[in-house]
Amino acid sequence: MIPESVSSVGLKNTSHKMLKMSDELVINQTRITLIQGDITNQDTDAIVNAANPSLRGGGGVDGAIHRAGGRAILDECTRIVKNQGPLQTGKAVLTTGGNLKARYVIHTVGPVWHGGTQNEAELLTSAYQKSLRLATTHGLSSISFPSISTGAYGYPVQEAATVALRAVALFLKHEPTSLREIIFVLFDSRTYQHYRTALEQLSEMV
């Protein structure tokens, strides 16, 4: 179930500001794009890491980013956890990009799926929007997201895609931002197709 904060309620009456395409959507001069690929190869100002609370790397996207970015990322993550404790679900922090093409990595913790009964949609929305606010605070113009929580955390891709895209759309509609490009980098064709369907449905709602 999608929370009211990411429902169609906040997205109506904005069609004059949106460009509808199959894998792109422009909202208030910021382009959302879907691609299939490897997020560690992105050269956007920042890439987002679907992290765990320890910020020490792991499997999937998290491990791939740490391996590609090198020791500098882990060193900054270690200092952050030492100073403020483990990163809470739905929160975000920023570190160097290390050896990555991206200058920065924004680490956020998505929710573990428990059947949708433990505020998973609200927490996933927060993970995306906190990442966008952090990028805006640092004056970034471009950011790349993976599909947060749909790997080991078990969030169903179809539901996660809808939450993710509506969360981003609402952020762009209601909050000023320096961001001009937001790219969802989906690892496989199945995930990409779910996000493309969700983007088309979002376009039809406005």
Annotated active-site residue in 23, 43, 45, 62? 62
**Angle, in degrees to the nearest 10, between helices 157-174 and 189-204:** 50
Which one-letter DSSP state was computed for residue 146? Answer: -
Contact between residue 172 and residue 18 where contact means Cβ atoms under 8 Å apart: no
The sign of the torsion formed by the CA atoms of 41, 46, 52, 54 equals positive
Q: Is 45 a catalytic residue?
A: no
Q: Under DSSP, is residue 91 helix (H, G, I), strand (E, B) or coil?
A: coil
Work out the angle at residue 93's Cα, subtended by the Cα atoms of residues 179 and 118, and round it to the nearest 5 degrees. 100
Q: How far apart are CA 205 and CA 179, in angstroms?
A: 23
Which one-letter DSSP state was computed for residue 187? Answer: S
Helix (H), strand (E), coil (C) string for 11-34: HCCCHHHEEECCCEEEECCEEEEE
Catalytic site positions: 62
